[in-house]
Structure 1
Amino acid sequence: MDHDLVEEIMEVKEYSAKGNFYQPHEFEDLIVQYKKVEKVNSSSSYADTVFYNPLKHRKETARYLKTEFELVGQPYQVLVIASKFERQEQIRNICLIILIPVLLLFALVLLVNRILLKKIWVPFEQLLENITAFNINHERPYEPVEMPVAEFRQLNEVLVALSGKVKSDYNEIKLFTENASHEMMTPLAVINSKLDNMLQSNVLGKEDGETLVELYKATSRLTKLNQSLLLLVKIDNNLLQDEEQINLKSLIKEKQVYFQELISERNITVESTLADVSISASRSLLEILINNLFSNVIRHNYDGGKIEITLDADKIVFANTGHNKALDPEKIFDRFYKDNASEGTGLGLAILKQICNRQRYQLDYSYYQDLHTFTITFNHQ
């Protein structure tokens, strides 16, 4: 616009050389004003302004050039005003002409990109769901997914092969464990029977009798270990699924009567607060759970100690006194983890944890006010 204003000033000078005052055409959106001055000042100035356009009868933004020179032998100040309105309209139209196709193209690219990504990634998300849902204990094999991308197809093939190999290896280990456990039961039963007969005979000396007692304890511990391992295998393979409605209050009282002789023998005080709670679960698993809880709080207690049992709609809590201080909550539920003074197999709490996992219960251990506390929180969903 400044360049155009300079050109208009040149036209004014050309007209003045002919003795005329230049006046622009109406369609040019230009206004040229002349004002006499005492003397010519050679400086020029540009600026923005707002002026009233008499042709369009409105105010418009404009750019002006103010300068001074001689016209027809007289000093004049010449003011050339050029409207910005038309140029702004042109710029706006040009921007719209460019911007609208660009936005449409951008929207089209986004749409195509979304469709392509959905086509590519939906099978991948299905692949992740199948990986998450895959369970080594279930008979249903890993489900392959049709993949549109070559790299994803290769990943899918690798996962299918890997899942097959894992299930095959797992089944072999499971079969070996089950067979080994069952095979061990017969010779262990024979050994226990023979040891019982020998202990009941009167032909053994004192030293031989003590040796047999130690052997009997060792074989009994081995039998318990074998039974615990076999039970873990059954729980791992989800073989105990006899789900029914069970009244926990009645079950706990029944088991307390079962363990009452051991409790009385060690002079242990039992304090129980039991609400009338029924849940849907496997009776076999819950009986093992309560048996192990009672066995644990009795075995790891001291003579004259205390057991606290609390049952409400959300949880069951077993707490007991004991010789040891707080146990490691990170390791206490690991298989074969036990303190040096324990004579157990180290599988009782591991069985508890495995049962809770199967039933989707939360098992927690804490030590507070000299009480070892095991809390089982039910999942009512």
Structure 2
Amino acid sequence: MLIFYLNRQLDHDLVEEVTEVKEYSTGGKFYSPHEFEDLIVEYHPIKATRSYAVYGDTLFYNPVKHHRENARFLRTEMNLNSKAYQILVIASKMEKQEQIKNICLIILLPVCLLLLVVLLVNRLLLRKIWNPFSQLLQNITDFNINQEKPYQPVEMPVAEFRQLNQVLVDLSGKIKSDYEEIKLFTENASHEMMTPLAIINSRLDNMLQSNNLDTREGEMLAELYRATSKLTRLNQSLLLLVKIDHNLLQDQHQIDLEALVKEKVLYFQELMQERNITIQTALSPVVIHANRQLIEILINNLFSNVIRHNYENGRIEIDLDAQQIIFRNTGHNPALDPGRIFDRFYKDSTSEGTGLGLAILKQICIRQHYALSYAYLKGLHTFTITFKP
């Protein structure tokens, strides 16, 4: 656009120069521009004139500045002093181009400065607006339903953000209140169930030791005793799952896993000897940082699982190194479903367990960020826990 404007201006000046050539070329003399005007007028005699005017761009040698420059020319024909001439007028573009550059600088510099100021103000305003929103997101991330610290509200400069903040405050309060009620109900219900179950077990135990029972009554009491014992274990397992799910066991300690496994081998030795189950161990010194209660439950459940689901004269293999611990056991059942084995209440039809042992294993591994897997390899049920998955 500016180049078009420059060319129009130069073409207008060239027309004026041609007019001056016509007016001032008289008496055998030709018009000659001043040497400082950056103009060149050339006269070329011709036989006859035609009516035309040609404009264009060219390069010419400026004799004043002694270098070549961009220029604009006008070629036309006219009669001067009763003779026909072709007139070529060349005007330098340098001065006009410099003027356009100066105009552009005068326009662009304030525009760039204004744009910079607008960007700076916009950044400050956005920071003022969005910093509280970022703090709001951080508070949502830091909010923990298990902690006594309530959700922290944030002062928001925007009405919609203030409304969002108030909704989050109300919602977090309701969630925390509902959670506390459920937690209290679970603990109270578990406690209240344990008391009558303990009484029933105690009475059934006393009755089973009585000498006045016939065979049928003894069998019925033994069946009731097993049912109440199973109900007690189920109640304890569900309560433990609730604690694990809600991350209530958070204390971390350094645990000598090799010593813990050896301790559990001695603890379960009598059960294995009763069924003539052999055990082979390959243990390396391993120390992990975890919750001790959860790790003890983990090892206890693994031992209980490989013993309960084993057969007479079976075997158990335990491998431990810095990366993982592996429990293998023989068993009556073929390979189990790896996709369902860790689901709650999933168990074999012949099992007398609660169906929560492996589910508890899974939840503990999730809380401790371990990887738990099952496979049936070479006739052995294999449970692998990887400490650094």
Q: Which residue of 1 aligns with 2:3?
A: none
The answer (yes or no) to whether the contact 2:338–2:375 under 8 Å persists in 1 is: no
**How many pairs align?**
377
Q: Which residue of 2 aligns with 1:90?
A: 99
The answer (yes or no) to whether the contact 2:53–2:75 under 8 Å persists in 1 is: yes
Q: TM-score, normalised by structure 1?
A: 0.88
The answer (yes or no) to whether the contact 1:361–1:376 under 8 Å persists in 2 is: no
Report the more deviating stretch, 101-110 or 209-218: 209-218
Compared with structure 1, are the counterparts of its residues 348 and 251 closer, same or farther at alpha carbon in structure 2 (3 Å cutoff)? same
Percent sequence identity over matched residues? 67
Counterparts of 1:86 and 1:308, CA distance in 2: 96
What secondary structure, in the 3-state scheme, does the structure 2 residue paired with 1:52 have? strand
Q: Which runs of 5+ in 1 are unaligned?
A: none
Q: Which residue of 2 aligns with 1:126?
A: 135
Q: Which residue of 1 aligns with 2:372?
A: 364
Counterparts of 1:270 and 1:74, CA distance in 2: 128
Q: Which residue of 2 aligns with 1:28?
A: 37
Counterparts of 1:320 and 1:19, CA distance in 2: 126
- Counterpart of 1:189 (choices 194, 198, 204) is 198
Q: Which residue of 2 aligns with 1:4?
A: 13
Task: For residue 246 of structure 1, report the CA deviation from its aligned partner.
Answer: 2.0
Over aligned residues, Cα RMSD in angstroms? 2.8
* AA partner of residue 23 (structure 1): S
What does 1:213-362 correspond to in 2, within 5 Å?
Answer: 213-236=222-245, 240=249, 243-266=252-275, 268=277, 270-301=279-310, 307-320=316-329, 323-325=333-335, 327-329=337-339, 332-358=341-367, 360-362=368-370
Query: Is residue 2:135 matched to residue 1:152?
Result: no
Q: Which runs of 5+ in 2 are unaligned?
A: 1-6
Query: Is residue 2:131 matched to residue 1:116?
Result: no
- Counterpart of 2:111 (choices 85, 102, 111) is 102
Query: Is residue 2:204 matched to residue 1:200?
Result: no
Report the more deviating stretch, 364-373 or 129-138: 364-373
Counterparts of 1:333 and 1:349, CA distance in 2: 5
Task: For residue 8 of structure 1, report the CA deviation from its aligned partner.
Answer: 2.6
Task: For residue 265 of structure 1, report the CA deviation from its aligned partner.
Answer: 4.7
Task: For residue 179 of structure 1, report the CA deviation from its aligned partner.
Answer: 0.8
Q: Which residue of 2 aligns with 1:374?
A: 384
Compared with structure 1, are the counterparts of its residues 258 and 30 closer, same or farther at alpha carbon in structure 2 (3 Å cutoff)? same
Task: For residue 108 of structure 1, report the CA deviation from its aligned partner.
Answer: 0.9
Counterparts of 1:72 and 1:301, CA distance in 2: 130
What secondary structure, in the 3-state scheme, does the structure 2 residue paired with 1:47 have? strand
Report the more deviating stretch, 284-293 or 259-268: 259-268
Task: For residue 112 of structure 1, report the CA deviation from its aligned partner.
Answer: 0.9
Query: Is residue 2:120 matched to residue 1:80?
Result: no
